[in-house]
Amino acid sequence: MQRYSTKQRKVMLDYLASHKDESVSASRIAEDLKQSGISKSAVYRNLALLEKEGKLAKSSKEGSRCVYYRYKDAGDCRSHIHLSCQVCGKTYHMASPATENIVSSVEKDSDFSVDRSSSVLYGICGTCRHKVE
């Protein structure tokens, strides 16, 4: 299937790249891009295509029916394991030495190849944890 480079697609990619450290819902993306003249249907259509192309990781939060998308095509995302806060939704890149230690240990112990760009560990970030304490 031929992929067309449209203004809508470029706007979506720019938006996602500027939010690469977040998991964002389709409704938030649609709301944020409304001023750019991007329709809700165009947002959903482009999200589906970008996910199919492997540029997005799709996830959901426990106890929620809402789906979130994280842009994983950014260069620095491909080599890191990601840490996702279940409270605020922010995504962090795990430091390279820690990523290397985990990946090499998993690959050595289980004969399993890890896709770092799709790997996410869920928990609560320091900022959210300190708000609760």
132: left (phi over 0), alpha (psi -120 to 50) or beta: alpha
- What's the CA dihedral at 25, 7, 21, 107 to 10 degrees? 100
pLDDT of residue 5: 61
pLDDT of residue 56: 87
pLDDT of residue 1: 45
CATH class of 7-132: mainly alpha
| % of the chain exceeding 90 in pLDDT | 26
Domain ranges in the chain? 7-132
- The model's pLDDT over 37-79, given as tens digits with 9 standing for 90+, comes to 999 999 999 999 999 988 888 877 777 778 888 887 766 666 6
- The model's pLDDT over 56-65, given as tens digits with 9 standing for 90+, comes to 888 777 777 7
CB contact at 8 A, 55 and 92? no
pLDDT of residue 3: 55
Block residue for tokens 């409304």: 34
In three-state secondary structure terms, 77 is helix
pTM of this prediction? Answer: 0.67
